[in-house]
Chains A and B, each alone.
Chain A
Amino acid sequence: MESLDDVIDDLIADRVIRRHRRTWLILIGVVVVLALIVLATGGWKERQGRAVPTLTVTADTPATVEAGRWEFGFTRSEIVREPKTDYSTAKAELLVYFDIRNIDTEEYQSGTPRQNLLRWVPGNGADLVESSGAYCRGKPGWSIVYGLPPQSCYTKFEIPPDFTADEIEVGILGEKYESDDGLLGADETPYWHNPEATAVVRLRPTVVVKEDKYR
C-alpha cells in the first residue's frame, strides 16, 4: 500500500518535471535543428583541400618522393583483372610499382614500409584505401636495408572488380622521428611514427587481364 509520503513525492516530482518540460523540449529541438543545419551545410569538419604537392608520373619521368625514412621512386601502375570463372567471382587489384630506398639516417635500420604509408586516393571525398605494404623480391614484408641501392617493389590496393580509371592517385605519408610526450609518462626515446601526408602521385594505370589456366 502506497504511503502518503510517496504520493506527495510523486506529486512534487511531477510538478517540477512538468514545469521545465517546455524548456527541455525547446532545447532538444534547437540541438536537433542545429545538427540538421550543420549536416546540410557539408558537415562539421572543415575541408581544406590538398595541402601537399601532386606529382605526375609518365612513362619516362618517374616521380621521386622522400617521405620519412623511405625514398620512393614511382614508375608505373597496373589494374590487374581476374575474370569470373566457374569457381570464383571476378576480382581486380590495383598494383603500383616503385623503387624504394632506405634513407633512415637516424637509426640506420632495415625495415619494410608500413601499410598505412601508401594510400590510394579514390577521389570524390571517399575514404583513402591503405596499401598492402611492399612486395620486394616477390616477398611481402621484405626488409629494405640502409645503404643498399633502391629496390624495385610494388604494392597492392583492393579495388572493386569493375573499377576503371584513366588516372589514379596515390598518397604518400612520411613518418617522423620523434618521441612520445614524456609528460604523460611515456618513454622519451624517439622512434619513427606519426605519419604525415607528404605528396600525391598521379599515375596512368595499364590494364592487365590475368589468364586463368583452370578456366
Chain B
Amino acid sequence: MKLYRPATILVGILFVLIGGLTRLATPEHVFDEQNIMISKGTIGEPLQFGKEASITVVRVKLVKGVLEPTASSSEKPIETDGIFVAVEWQTSRGPEKPDTPIATLTSDSDAVFSPIAMIYSGIEFGAAGFTVSGSIVFEVDPTELQGLTLDVRPQQFWNVLNRKVSVDLGIPSEESAQKLIDNAAEEYVLPRSETRVSS
C-alpha cells in the first residue's frame, strides 16, 4: 500500500491545526502589540530602548515659543495657539546600532502629538560608549496636558521582538497642568545636541 498520499494529507491537516493553535495561544489581550515590550518609567530614569540603548528624560518644560539655535537675534520665535512641550533627553547605546527612534506624546484621552518640524528637535544616539543629550519639542493642545506620556518606539523593517520606551511626564491633574501653563517661558532656544563619554 502506498502511504505517500495519505501521509501528505495528514501533514497538511497538522499544519493547519498548528496554525490555529498558535493563533489561540497569542496573548492578544495582554499586549497591544505582540512584538513590542514596553519600558515604563518616569523622568530621570534610564529606560531600555531596543536591545542595548537607553533613553532618559532629563526634564520637561512648557514654553510658548521656540527658536533654532542658529537663529539670528532679530528672528522671532515660532509661536503656537496651543503650547510647546520641550522634552530634554539623554541617550546612550551599546555596540549595536539602535533603530531610529520615533517619538510621540500621548495624552490620557489618547490624543497623539508629533514633534515639530525643526532641525534641532529630535532624539538621536551617538557612537557606542558616548552619551548624547538634546531636546525634542512637541506642539500640544493645552487641554490635553493631563497624563501626558512620551512614547519612543523603534522604527523597524522586520517584525522582530523589540522594546519601546514610555515615560510618564508627571502631569497628574488639570491643576498641575494649569500651573505649568501659567509658568510657561516665553521662548525656548532649542539646544544643540551634546556628546560626551558615558560615565
Chain A residues with a Cβ under 8 A of chain B: 107-112, 137-143, 145-149, 151
Contacts and interface: CB of A to CB of B under 8 A. Distances in A.
A143 B114 contact: yes
Closest 8 CB pairs of A and B: A147-B141, A108-B111, A109-B112, A110-B114, A141-B117, A143-B114, A148-B82, A148-B81
Contacts of B78: 137-139
B117 A147 contact: no
B81 A110 contact: no
B139 interface: yes
B26 interface: no
A142 B117 contact: yes
B141 A143 contact: no
Nearest to A144: B139
Of the listed residues B109, B110, B115, B141, the one surrounded by the most CB atoms of chain A closer than 10 A to its CB is: B141
Contacts of B79: 137
A210 B118 CA distance: 26
A145 B144 CA distance: 11
23 contacts: A107-B112, A108-B111, A108-B112, A109-B111, A109-B113, A109-B114, A110-B114, A112-B117, A137-B78, A139-B118, A140-B117, A141-B117, A143-B113, A143-B117, A143-B139, A145-B113, A145-B139, A145-B140, A146-B141, A147-B82, A148-B80, A148-B82, A148-B139
A111 B81 contact: no
Nearest to A108: B111
A66 B158 CA distance: 36
Interface of B: 78-82, 109-118, 139-141, 143-144
B113 A110 contact: yes
A110 B117 contact: no
Contacts of B110: 108
B189 to A, nearest CB: 16
A110 B112 contact: yes
Given A110-B114, A139-B118, A140-B117, A145 B109 contact: no
Given A148-B141, A151-B81, 13 more contacts: A108-B109, A109-B111, A111-B114, A137-B79, A139-B78, A143-B115, A143-B116, A145-B141, A146-B141, A147-B82, A147-B111, A148-B80, A149-B81
Of the listed residues A111, A137, A140, A145, the one surrounded by the most CB atoms of chain B closer than 10 A to its CB is: A145
Of the listed residues A107, A110, A140, A143, the one surrounded by the most CB atoms of chain B closer than 10 A to its CB is: A110
Contacts of A145: 82, 113, 139-141
Contacts of B139: 110, 143, 145, 148
Nearest to B82: A148
